[in-house]
Structure 1
């Protein structure tokens, strides 16, 4: 009789344990697919206007606005988004390791990258351009001949200009974009080059407003996409979110909020799947 009671109690305990395990497993599976606890999203932390972490610990920039909108469409509130810094050199690895669910970090779609990850979008068509002082005139790339062009260590943008458009340009290498901006302000350099969206973000900073302008040269096409792990079903869901962002006007508002102060002449929102070569 006592043995039967003990067995019944044991069975109940096992049933409860199995139920708890099943519930815990469900929460874990949901954590990366909307409605779960958090979603990990890769962004840049050091690009004003694109993706930046402020001293107060908040995040701002066009890519941040895109990522936030997409995450909400996937079922996550703003508080459930866990932004992770993903430097350019580590973006593919971050996705393959599962460190992040998706990446919005001035991530240009290229054939080489598409072999490693999938892309939703594009959600922005940027172009390589040059940033100059507000009172200077650079109407075409050839005008950079004889000018001092700022080259950031590790970047190929300035070298591309010198090799393809202005062989007579002088390259001066600095450690980062902020140093280039200081050099541009003091006259140590005449121009800074990278994607126009990134340049616009820097020029829109409070301390630089009205001091610099983009030349509008459009030296290349850079199709920014949202990177996801190869084969992920998030690609189609993110594409739908991006389409909705454009349709309801949120895309235009994000462009104006992040690039407007630099008088950035952006292209219209690209059509999903339409990668401009």
Structure 2
């Protein structure tokens, strides 16, 4: 499955971007959150994004274009946000606020560590001094890694899957990223049974939807759609289906309590 995922990373637009098509920015290689295998898409971000699109009047697959979001996750590419809505576990950084309207939070996350499965010693941010920790270059987690892991050597790679491959091979000693993404990979071949997620809470994040400013009404509509998904159980169903049943996590957490954005 992973080979199919990685093969799909070079493909950007999934369906046409003609009139009436809503473009969603999603990741292609974050099992549990958003993943592409051939022409199939799954993951919480993708399923929630399609649900929001339906509520915005784009009910069919042909009404939605899924565009791959680069792994450099501090901000999207330079210039205007190239998607109508970005659904890709982005924290509310100042750089993102400068490019788009933010709605959320739609998901909360935790920065964690992955180590090799045969490493049984307790692992923490401070225990990795003198060792190599891999992080995705350009990401918010990567940016703060030198401070989060004092004394460790930070090895930056272009994708999370590259970091985890090097962990399996012994080139690095740990990988730091979003816990759900790490658990998603740990449940998939070829990583299943060879890596484990340490369960160390290094930092917490609230993740937001980013909405392109080209249509001034879109932000309010996205906010209403997300609020409705939380209220009627659509959010919880997507989480249960994509993250609990797949074994990424054990239970559905409480949904976001207050959706902010646009005018408040």
Alignment TM-score, normalising by the size of structure 1: 0.72
Report which of the two has the higher share of strand: 2
Segments of 5+ residues of structure 2 without an aligned counterpart are 1-16
Report which of the two has the higher share of helix: 1
- Equivalent residues in 2 for 1:127-166, closer than 5 Å: 127-135=110-118, 136-155=120-139, 157-158=141-142, 160-164=144-148, 166=149
**Match in the other structure for 2:9:** none
SS at match of 1:268: coil
Q: Could you tell which deviates more after superposition, 78-87 or 202-211?
A: 202-211
| In 1: Cα distance, 2:158 partner to 2:170 partner | 17
Kept after mapping to 2: 8 A contact 1:132/1:213: yes
Using a 3 Å threshold, how does the CA distance of structure 1 residues 240 and 91 change in structure 2: closer, same or farther? farther
**Match in the other structure for 1:18:** none
Alpha-carbon displacement from aligned partner over 1:50-99 (angstroms, at most 9, x marks no partner): 222222x222221101110100111111321111223345357353xxx4
- Equivalent residues in 2 for 1:155-234, closer than 5 Å: 155=139, 157-158=141-142, 160-164=144-148, 166-230=149-213, 232-234=216-218
**Match in the other structure for 1:270:** 256
Using a 3 Å threshold, how does the CA distance of structure 1 residues 181 and 265 change in structure 2: closer, same or farther? farther
Question: Within the alignment, does 1:70 sit opposite 2:52 as a pair?
Answer: yes
Kept after mapping to 1: 8 A contact 2:87/2:210: yes
RMSD, matched Cα: 3.0
Question: Within the alignment, does 1:41 sit opposite 2:24 as a pair?
Answer: yes
Bigger Rg over Cα: 1
Alpha-carbon displacement from aligned partner over 1:201-229 (angstroms, at most 9, x marks no partner): 32232433344333233322322111112
| In 1: Cα distance, 2:209 partner to 2:228 partner | 15
- Equivalent residues in 2 for 1:243-262, closer than 5 Å: 243-260=227-244, 261-262=247-248
**What's the CA shift for 1:118?**
0.7
**What's the CA shift for 1:155?**
4.3
**Match in the other structure for 2:7:** none
Which 4+ runs in 1 deviate beyond 6 A? none
SS at match of 1:145: coil
SS at match of 1:151: strand
| In 1: Cα distance, 2:140 partner to 2:99 partner | 22
**What's the CA shift for 1:144?**
2.0
